Structure 1
Amino acid sequence: MAQHGTGGSGSVDALSVLELLAQQAPPERFAELLDRAREAGRPPAELAPLERAVHLATGVAQSLARREQRADAIDALADTARELTHPYDLDGLLRLVVRRARRLLDLDLACVTLRDAHGVRLLHSSEGGLTGQGLGPVGCPAALEREGLGGLVHALGGPAWTEDYLTDDRFPHLPAVDRVVRDEGLRAVLAVPLRIGDTVLGLLYGGDRRARRFADGELALLAPLADLAAVATEKAGLLDQTRAEVTELELDSSRARTALTRMRYISAAHGRMMNLVLSGGDLLGVAKAAGDALDALVLVRDPGGRTLAATGEPVGLDEDAVAKASLDAHAGGRPVRTPAGPDTDRAADPGADPGADPGGGQTWVAPVVAGSEDLGVLVVTAATPLTGEDERLLELAAQSVALLLLMQRSTAVAEGPVRDELLDDLLAEPQHAPQQIAQRARRLGIDLRKPHVLVVARPEGGEQGRAVVWASSYAYRMGGLKTVQGGCIVLLLPGVDASAAARAVSAELAPLLGHPVSVGAAGPGWSPDSVARLAQEAMRCLDAMSALGGAGAAASVEDLGFLGLLLSDDHDVDGFIESAIGPVLDYDAERFTDLTRTLEAYFASGGSPTNAAEALHVHPNTVSRRLERIGELLGAEWQKPGQVLEVQLALRLQRTRDVLARRRAALSTGPRAARGEE
């Protein structure tokens, strides 16, 4: 019976163990089964088979658990492998790796360090840390990889771990790493290399805050993850590099498209300027086309600095800086940006653009040349800084202006003989066939019924040839005529201000020749018949300047005052009196005052207000007030030698004219009245 009973209880025990095993009960349930059997007072002979069954069942359960864990790990690795095939950037990829490593081995901390292009370990990703510093010799040269746990990995050629890092003396300790381990409260640490072939890209670190031994199976799980991470890291690096190269190619392509668009724009702008030149356009049209293309104000200046055409008036233009830049531009043969002037706001802003004008833009000077000949400059004031392509367009604009100037010169030279003959015929006395002369002038685009002045220029030394060539171009440019007579250049120019015309010719011709030029002018005239008379007056004006020691000066008949009255053929006495004392005469006529008599008495008394007052029988203060009024009418400088002489001459002429008028009136009433008048 006992044997039967024993066998029966043994079967029951085995069945109970199998039931627990089938339920995948935890180890505590098996221990409870043994405890109940012991408490029941069962003999050792009966407990032994139960203990054996429990031991075997526990082993089977652990084996099944490990197998299940391994299966889960394999599934996790498979999932990780699938995730690593997705297009991550490097940082995102490494965050995935450390997250998976923590889950696979139930770690408190995981991080990855990679070697950069200079062989320095850099922390790329970390998870689970308290300080965010990670592990390993971060930021240290590759030579220090042999220190710490990384050195143990290098020595073993594979994963390495320690149950208690700070007490492990199998490897040299790095103070920085020990400090991190201590701050994080870690004990168990492992390191797995990220390897591709024989190349180690970095290290995968894991840490636990309890003492722990890592089984070979756990390391076997982490090693494939590290290998997958290495491959994915290399792939991500190549992908990042490819992306960077693609981005750079896109930027290059964008820059190329922008440059191509700009070059097409420059070509179109240059084409517009050349069409203007070839279709007979003028300098202003070419300057406007260049200004529109550059979004700038453009000035065309000749070698003497005279503005030939302008699209606007730049504000605050530093002429000294422009002059210096002009020299540099001609010396270098390319556009030059002007330096900052001392009178701009840049003194208060040291960081301002040195080429910027006070308005916020830039001023450039481009040379206008034909071979080695200086034809002038382009002065460009741009609202925004010019690019390299803009500088090229500026050069093309200067070339277009140079071509137009050469074409104008060539046209002037080609038409020169015809135009010279016309002016020669206008200067001849008497004129031959006046109607034919008028028709010839109209064919050349010259209307002699409009006001014109005549200018005579005489170079004081040097060769005349260069001056003649310049005169042909200048007359053509100004819409006038030119000829050469008696060693002088004669110019018939449209306009009413002879003095201004003389100064303009002198200002342009003298710097070109490099020596003085005497210039006389007369006018205006209003008909073809007046040309010869104006030429005689201008020549007499030129001779008068030479006689007075004024060689190299520029003046008109009007500028010479009473000398101009003597030189003029029409002897315009009324005009001279009006210009000298007209306001005083008008004031007396309107207000019945005696300013004219006061002037005569003032000059007769030698410029003494007191003596003049005695002669006029008035108080000296009255004379002083009258003289102040005369100063208001004639100007503050009326008593200076030049003007005071003209005032006295005008007073004498006015007095003489009044006497003659009274005599004519007396003669008309009879001899007695005439004698009484005398």
Structure 2
Amino acid sequence: MILTFAGGHLVNPDEGSSDSDALAVLELLAREAPSSRFDELLRTARQQFLPRERLRRLERAVRLALDVRATAEQRRRREAGLAALVDTTHDLSSHTDDLDGLLHVITSHARRLLNLDMAYVSLRLPGGGSYVHKSDGETTALSVGLELGRGFGLGEYAQSKQAPFWTSDYLADERFPHSPDIDEVVSSEGLHAVLAVPLIHSGAATGALYGASREIRHFTPDEVSLMRSLAVLSASAIEATRRRARIETALAEAQSESVRCTSALARMDRLAATRKRLMDLVLEGGALHDVTSAAAQALGGTLVLWDAEGRTLAAAGELPQLDAASVVRALVDSHAAGAPVTVGGEGLPGVWATHVTTGVEAPGALLFRRPGTPCAEPPTETPSEPLSEEDKGLLCATAQTLALVLLLGHSAGAAAGPARDECLEELLAGTPRSPRRLAERLRRLGIDPTGRHLVLIVRPEGGKQGESAAWASSYAYRHGGLKTVRGDCLVLLIPGTDASAAASAAAGELSPLLGHPVSVGAAGPTAELSSVGKVYQEARRCLDTLVALGRTGGTAAPGDLGFLGLLLSDDHDADAFVTAALGPVLDYDSGRSTELVRTLEAYFTAGGSPTRAAQHLHVHTNTVARRLDRITELLGPHWQEPAQALEIQLALRVRRAQRAVYRRPRTTEHTQADREA
């Protein structure tokens, strides 16, 4: 009997054909035939009623062949798994700078290694328990961020035992404690088989790697071992990523600290430089205003110095209206704390106060405010930034410097007061000592005998003669001048060239201090100290003129009084008067050969009529109009108003008289009149 099986070999029923059976099995094994082909071989042999011993040997050969094939298949799966692990290691090493990217690589490779439906990673929390950090293959948004809780689920069990743990059907398995939140996610995802492998680094579990299938599945030892190998690699990679993140964070913090230290060092250098500058100002004889302005510029805000009675001694900018009671409370707090404090009250955003103590007077207040950011709607200002420690230190240093200036002025003014009064009285009386001895005496008092000086006569309009005299002593000392008292007036001799500006500055400092107006007459400058008495008389006439004109509380120098100043002046400087009234027009005519001065004369002669002025000049009316427009640009928009017009007409008359008296030749250069017409 001849038997043909699917492999194409002939199987004889004789005893001697058992070798053929083995060859047939080997051929199927070599061709990697499916199990059904081996079953077909056995089924055919049984149908042919082979001898029992031969059939037994054939069955044994088939079993051995299937075992060999299973072993080979297992080896191939292991090799494939190891190759996949090598690829995974390569991918893990390229994502150590990003934890999320690393966990995504881990979960995606876990799914491919074991042909899973879902994979996810949980990491332990500092206080215990863990949470799902990353997942792959999920169909809902419930998994990522889920806190697994302490003692619940496969992951906690695997981490506590530091060994893999799996179940073929999670919800039906009662071997471990269940959590409602975890069960809800498992149910929502439709998961059954779940494998949890601990992530262990340095002997401690840092989380767990999970693989899950949506079918009931029994994980083989090889699959569990492969998942555990992936977990070992993942734990090292996760720890390396975390360590790198910690290093980068520490590096960033170190860089930030370096920037902060550099910035603090720069601020300290700035503070030291500003303190040196303030001290240099004091040593150079700087006044309160000089120190206040320099400090305000360094601090970037408004700085105001008050005395004990709330009067402004020096200011750089303006502050909002302050409540005196709030300032007093702030001064008390500042003195107790030894540092600047904020001033309370409504509408005072960012106003700081620190005490200024000299030891010989009641404490004053140094107030500071840094502007905030303007707001468009409503048009208000946001509160300013809090002061840094460096700014507070600079504010305290400024308060100490101002106290030193006050103390020096008080001490020096009081000590040198009699000598200064005596010296100035001699100069005013016109009976000084020899020029050489006078120069030596002035130098000892800190006065430059070769400089140009002004005379100021200050009359307080509200009494308080004692306070005024004390202020005058300090003011004269701070400005390198002399002071004396004559009747109800203070007389100051100070260096300078602008009498009008000096009068305004003195009144601006003394009037707030006394709390009432101050009238100041000034004259000069003079470079000859022998003529101080003459300049004093001129300043006196300016002060008397202010009173006569009803301008009590004002300031005036000869240049401020116009033609009255010309009449009151001892030297009758007519040229200066003409220049003050007509200077821009004269310069314009001289530089461009125009006839604006002649046009002015014709205009005033014609009673302010451009038409009649044009007839007098023999030019077109439009030419006169253009010339008048140019004069307006040069002299200002108010030159035709009565006061200024009178000054201009007087200047024109003085100039005409000068030209007639001194027979000054008239310029006969060609003009632009024709072109203007």
Q: Same fold (TM over 0.5)?
A: yes
Residue 355 of structure 1 aligns with which residue? 349
Residue 22 of structure 1 aligns with which residue? 30
Of the candidates 259, 263, 267, which is equivalent to residue 268 of structure 2? 263
- Please tell me whether the aligned partners of residues 497 and 523 of structure 1 are also in contact (alpha carbons under 8 angstroms): no
- Tell me the TM-score normalised to structure 1 length: 0.62
Residue 147 of structure 2 aligns with which residue? 139
Equivalent pairs, count? 526
- Please tell me whether the aligned partners of residues 358 and 406 of structure 2 are also in contact (alpha carbons under 8 angstroms): no
- Please tell me whether the aligned partners of residues 340 and 353 of structure 2 are also in contact (alpha carbons under 8 angstroms): yes
Residue 13 of structure 1 aligns with which residue? 21
Q: Which amino acid aligns with 1:113?
A: S
Q: Which amino acid aligns with 2:322?
A: D
Residue 117 of structure 1 and its aligned partner are, at CA, apart by 0.8
State the secondary structure of the residue aligned to 2:171. Answer: helix
For residues 156 and 383 of structure 1, the distance between their equivalents in structure 2, rounded to whole angstroms, comes to 62
Cα shift readout 1:99-122 (whole Å, capped 9, x = no counterpart): 333233222111122220111321
Residue 583 of structure 2 aligns with which residue? none
Q: Which amino acid aligns with 1:255?
A: R
- Please tell me whether the aligned partners of residues 149 and 160 of structure 1 are also in contact (alpha carbons under 8 angstroms): yes
**Where do residues 321-340 of structure 1 align in structure 2 (5 Å cutoff)?**
324-325=326-327, 328-329=330-331, 331-333=333-335, 334-336=339-341
Residue 15 of structure 1 and its aligned partner are, at CA, apart by 1.6
- Please tell me whether the aligned partners of residues 455 and 536 of structure 2 are also in contact (alpha carbons under 8 angstroms): no
1:96 aligns with 2:96: no
Residues 233 and 65 (structure 1 numbering): CA distance in 2 closer, same or farther, change over 3 Å?
A: same
Residue 377 of structure 1 aligns with which residue? 366
For residues 536 and 91 of structure 1, the distance between their equivalents in structure 2, rounded to whole angstroms, comes to 89
For residues 30 and 15 of structure 1, the distance between their equivalents in structure 2, rounded to whole angstroms, comes to 13
Of the candidates 57, 61, 72, which is equivalent to residue 69 of structure 2? 61
Residue 14 of structure 1 and its aligned partner are, at CA, apart by 1.7
**Where do residues 551-566 of structure 1 align in structure 2 (5 Å cutoff)?**
559=547
For residues 143 and 505 of structure 2, the distance between their equivalents in structure 1, rounded to whole angstroms, comes to 88
1:191 aligns with 2:191: no
State the secondary structure of the residue aligned to 2:174. Answer: coil
- Please tell me whether the aligned partners of residues 122 and 130 of structure 2 are also in contact (alpha carbons under 8 angstroms): yes
For residues 232 and 223 of structure 2, the distance between their equivalents in structure 1, rounded to whole angstroms, comes to 15
Residue 75 of structure 1 and its aligned partner are, at CA, apart by 4.3
Residue 57 of structure 1 and its aligned partner are, at CA, apart by 0.4
State the secondary structure of the residue aligned to 1:482. Answer: strand
Cα shift readout 1:368-403 (whole Å, capped 9, x = no counterpart): 443574466364545774533233333334434444
Residue 491 of structure 1 aligns with which residue? 491
**Where do residues 193-342 of structure 1 align in structure 2 (5 Å cutoff)?**
193-196=198-201, 199-283=204-288, 285-296=290-301, 298=303, 313-314=317-318, 317-320=319-322, 324-325=326-327, 328-329=330-331, 331-333=333-335, 334-336=339-341, 342=347
For residues 449 and 93 of structure 1, the distance between their equivalents in structure 2, rounded to whole angstroms, comes to 83
Residue 253 of structure 1 and its aligned partner are, at CA, apart by 1.7
Residue 506 of structure 1 and its aligned partner are, at CA, apart by 6.4
Residue 482 of structure 1 and its aligned partner are, at CA, apart by 2.4
- Please tell me whether the aligned partners of residues 301 and 379 of structure 1 are also in contact (alpha carbons under 8 angstroms): no
Cα shift readout 1:99-158 (whole Å, capped 9, x = no counterpart): 3332332221111222201113211121122114349x942542xx1x444576478763
Residue 50 of structure 2 aligns with which residue? 43
- Please tell me whether the aligned partners of residues 483 and 491 of structure 1 are also in contact (alpha carbons under 8 angstroms): yes
1:162 aligns with 2:167: yes
Residues 164 and 414 (structure 1 numbering): CA distance in 2 closer, same or farther, change over 3 Å?
A: same
For residues 132 and 485 of structure 2, the distance between their equivalents in structure 1, rounded to whole angstroms, comes to 90
Residues 491 and 140 (structure 1 numbering): CA distance in 2 closer, same or farther, change over 3 Å?
A: farther
- Please tell me whether the aligned partners of residues 200 and 235 of structure 2 are also in contact (alpha carbons under 8 angstroms): yes
**Percent of paired sites with the same residue:** 37
Residue 661 of structure 1 aligns with which residue? none
For residues 432 and 150 of structure 1, the distance between their equivalents in structure 2, rounded to whole angstroms, comes to 108
- Tell me the TM-score normalised to structure 2 length: 0.62
For residues 532 and 158 of structure 2, the distance between their equivalents in structure 1, rounded to whole angstroms, comes to 111
1:389 aligns with 2:390: yes
Residues 458 and 485 (structure 1 numbering): CA distance in 2 closer, same or farther, change over 3 Å?
A: farther
**Where do residues 374-453 of structure 1 align in structure 2 (5 Å cutoff)?**
374=363, 377=366, 379=368, 381-382=370-371, 385=385, 386-413=387-414, 415-426=416-427, 431=431, 444-445=447-448, 452-453=455-456
Q: Which amino acid aligns with 1:454?
A: I
For residues 293 and 461 of structure 1, the distance between their equivalents in structure 2, rounded to whole angstroms, comes to 36
1:112 aligns with 2:117: no
For residues 435 and 215 of structure 2, the distance between their equivalents in structure 1, rounded to whole angstroms, comes to 123
Residues 459 and 177 (structure 1 numbering): CA distance in 2 closer, same or farther, change over 3 Å?
A: closer
Q: Which amino acid aligns with 2:116?
A: L
Residue 71 of structure 1 aligns with which residue? 79
For residues 187 and 424 of structure 2, the distance between their equivalents in structure 1, rounded to whole angstroms, comes to 108
Residue 660 of structure 1 aligns with which residue? none
Residue 318 of structure 1 and its aligned partner are, at CA, apart by 0.8
Residue 167 of structure 1 and its aligned partner are, at CA, apart by 2.6
Residue 524 of structure 1 and its aligned partner are, at CA, apart by 6.7
- Please tell me whether the aligned partners of residues 368 and 399 of structure 1 are also in contact (alpha carbons under 8 angstroms): yes
For residues 294 and 65 of structure 1, the distance between their equivalents in structure 2, rounded to whole angstroms, comes to 82
Q: Which amino acid aligns with 1:332?
A: S
Residue 471 of structure 1 aligns with which residue? 472
State the secondary structure of the residue aligned to 1:113. Answer: strand
For residues 246 and 519 of structure 1, the distance between their equivalents in structure 2, rounded to whole angstroms, comes to 65
Residues 411 and 182 (structure 1 numbering): CA distance in 2 closer, same or farther, change over 3 Å?
A: same
Cα shift readout 1:588-614 (whole Å, capped 9, x = no counterpart): xx9xxxxxxxxxxxxxxxxxxxxxxxx
- CA RMSD, 1 decimal: 5.1
Deviates more, 1:321-330 or 1:209-218: 321-330
Q: Which amino acid aligns with 2:226?
A: L
1:130 aligns with 2:139: yes
Structure 2 unaligned spans of 5+:
3-10, 374-384, 526-530, 553-562, 568-604, 606-640, 644-677
Q: Which amino acid aligns with 2:77?
A: Q
Deviates more, 1:289-298 or 1:176-185: 289-298
State the secondary structure of the residue aligned to 1:268. Answer: helix
Deviates more, 1:18-27 or 1:320-329: 320-329
Residue 332 of structure 1 and its aligned partner are, at CA, apart by 0.4
For residues 329 and 538 of structure 2, the distance between their equivalents in structure 1, rounded to whole angstroms, comes to 40
Q: Which amino acid aligns with 1:179?
A: E
Residue 642 of structure 1 aligns with which residue? none
State the secondary structure of the residue aligned to 1:318. Answer: coil
- Please tell me whether the aligned partners of residues 446 and 479 of structure 1 are also in contact (alpha carbons under 8 angstroms): no
For residues 482 and 80 of structure 2, the distance between their equivalents in structure 1, rounded to whole angstroms, comes to 106
Residue 78 of structure 1 and its aligned partner are, at CA, apart by 5.3
